């Protein structure tokens, strides 16, 4: 398995976020494999938060000479809002709203990835609906409400080129381990479609390869 270099690893692990190190490494390796299969095609990340997982993916983009499109409205997912389990007051701005964009930009500057990571600030469903560029990899780690997860799948899965990778975070088969939206609304429909097969599993990260255009 290919590994992120120590400098970028330190930055990634110091960044606010929810990507365990082993899963970040698996995502890094999956992105390299996607670039091996589809050289020259860009990568996309749906849900960037403060840029923790973006460092792993951005490092691949920089090494392989492609772009990474980081899609996020930066207003925080449902589970990040006040009163919810994953709320962090440190990302609330002076207007009382979550705003992770300054944190994301600081992470990209620190990592030296601003030339290859392109911000797409806005609603992921709307951006995906207008997207036209085939992707070597699409990593979905956006909002975990059922409607949001379902919408991310429908907006983005078709943009993964045949041979490319659809990676999904926070996939839990057992409800006791975590929320079911990524499992039920992204992972299972992708496999049931016949367009994707599972090729990797690390923690809650599932890596699927697109095998059919139909």
Q: Which of 144, 157, 159, 169 is catalytic?
A: 144
Backbone angle region of 47, left / alpha / beta, with phi > 0 → left and psi within -120 to 50 → alpha: left
* Stated length of the chain: 214
d(CA 206, CA 3): 18
User: Is 32 labeled as catalytic in the residue annotation?
Assistant: no
Q: If 0-12 CB within 10 Å is exposed, 13-18 middle and 19+ buried, where does residue 3 land?
A: exposed
d(CA 50, CA 47): 9
Decide: 66 and 32 in contact? Cβ < 8 Å: no
DSSP, collapsed to helix, strand or coil, labels residue 70 as: strand
User: What residues have CB less than 8 Å from 160, skipping those under 6 apart?
Assistant: 134, 135, 137, 138, 166, 210
Residues tagged active-site: 144
């Amino acid at each position: 398995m290919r590994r992120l270099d120590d400098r970028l690893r330190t930055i990634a692990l110091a960044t606010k976020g929810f990507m365990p190190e082993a899963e970040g490494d698996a995502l890094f390796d999956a992105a390299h494999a996607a670039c091996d299969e589809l050289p020259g095609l860009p990568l996309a990340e749906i849900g960037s938060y403060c840029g923790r997982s973006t460092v792993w993916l951005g490092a691949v983009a920089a090494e392989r000479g492609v772009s990474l499109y980081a899609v996020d409205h930066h207003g925080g997912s449902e589970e990040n809002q006040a009163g919810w389990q994953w709320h962090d007051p440190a990302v609330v701005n002076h207007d009382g709203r979550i705003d992770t964009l300054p944190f994301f930009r600081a992470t990209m500057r620190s990592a030296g990835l601003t030339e290859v990571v392109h911000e797409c600030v806005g609603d992921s469903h709307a951006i995906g609906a207008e997207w036209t560029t085939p992707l070597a990899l699409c990593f979905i780690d956006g909002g975990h409400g059922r409607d949001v997860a379902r919408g991310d799948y429908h907006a983005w899965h078709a943009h993964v080129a045949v041979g490319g990778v659809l990676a999904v975070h926070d996939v839990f088969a057992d409800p006791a381990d975590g929320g079911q939206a990524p499992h039920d609304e992204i992972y299972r429909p992708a496999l049931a479609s016949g367009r994707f097969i599972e090729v990797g599993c690390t923690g809650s990260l599932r890596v699927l390869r697109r095998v059919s255009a139909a």
